[in-house]
Amino acid sequence: MVYSDDGVRQWVTTGCTSAGIGCLECKQPVIDAVLAELAPIRERAQYYEDNPDQVRNILADGCEKAQELARDTMRRCREAMGLTFG
């Protein structure tokens, strides 16, 4: 499995088949592994949560670049269709 090693899988198998552990105990190792894997992503995301102005600047820059590309694309489309005026 992706999030459990052989020892954890054996513990779960034994615990589940003997009713020695409950469902939440059974799932906890997977929960812990997923949270550990997501920790670096959450840390990187925290920067942007703490700096909303930076996010707005990134979005504004992206919007500006998208508008420039869209203008160029539309210009080329109009030229290809013979719809250029002036």
Which H, E and C letters describe the chain, residue by residue?
CCCCCHHHHHHHHHHHHCCCCCHHHHHHHHHHHHHHHHHHHHHHHHHHHHCHHHHHHHHHHHHHHHHHHHHHHHHHHHHHHCCCCC
Q: What is the pLDDT of residues 6-46, one digit of tens each?
A: 999 899 899 988 988 888 898 899 999 999 999 999 999 99
pLDDT at 74: 95
The domain spans of the chain are: 1-50, 52-86
pTM: 0.55
Q: Mean pLDDT of all residues in the chain?
A: 92
Q: Is the pLDDT of residue 86 over 70?
A: no
User: 48 versus 3: which is more confidently predicted?
Assistant: 48
